[in-house]
Amino acid sequence: MPEAVLPKKRVLLVDDEVRILRIIDIKLRIAGYEVITAMNGEEALQLVRTDKPDLVVLDIIMPVMDGFEFLKQVRAFSKIPVIAFSAASESLDQAIQLGADAALAKPFQPDELVPAFIIDYTYV
């Protein structure tokens, strides 16, 4: 009898910098994850509701709706794990206070994100 194949875990990646989105997207796909992307918190909030990701990887400083507002709103209806990242280190503590499960300072290597964080939060 063939071995059961587990469905790919879905990661919502949110950042307004296209270059960063592409690099992390590729890295996550290579690691075996399904990736959906958003360029701001407003898009991300809608995708949490409609696409039901298993994890959100969230930049804090973005236009339209920043990561702080996203965290406030998503925590009103969901306990989805959120990994926040930002170039402004003071933003990371605030993100944790608003409900992020983990935080990572920019710049970082995509390899730091995938094994250290993603696995912990998508296979709990």
Range of lowest pLDDT (6-15, 50-59, 115-124): 115-124
Query: Global pTM?
Result: 0.85
Domain assignment present for 22: yes
- Location of structure tokens 């710049």: 107
Rounded distance between C-alpha atoms, residue 87 and residue 72, angstroms: 20
Q: Which residues contact 47 (CB under 8 A, 6 or more apart)?
A: 12, 36, 38, 53
CATH of the domain at 30: 3.40.50.2300
Total tally of structural domains belonging to the chain = 1
Report yes or no on 35 lying in a domain: yes
Whether residue 14 contacts residue 58, with contact meaning beta carbons closer than 8 Å, is answered with: yes
Confirm whether 4 is domain-assigned: no
Query: What mean pLDDT is predicted for residues 28-57?
Result: 94
Structure tokens at 36: 């959906």
Of 36, 72, 71, 38, residue with least CA distance to 54: 36
Residue 90 pLDDT class (50, 70, 90 cuts): confident
Tell which residue, 13, 35, 31, has the closest CA to residue 83.
13
Residue 15 lies in a domain: yes
Select the more confidently predicted residue: 114 or 31.
31
Whole-angstrom distance, CA of residue 98 vs CA of residue 75: 8
Is 5 part of any domain? no
Q: In this structure, is residue 107 part of a structural domain?
A: yes
Within a domain: 2: no
Instruction: Establish if 78 belongs to a structural domain.
Output: yes
Q: Tell me the residue range of the domain where 22 lies.
A: 10-122
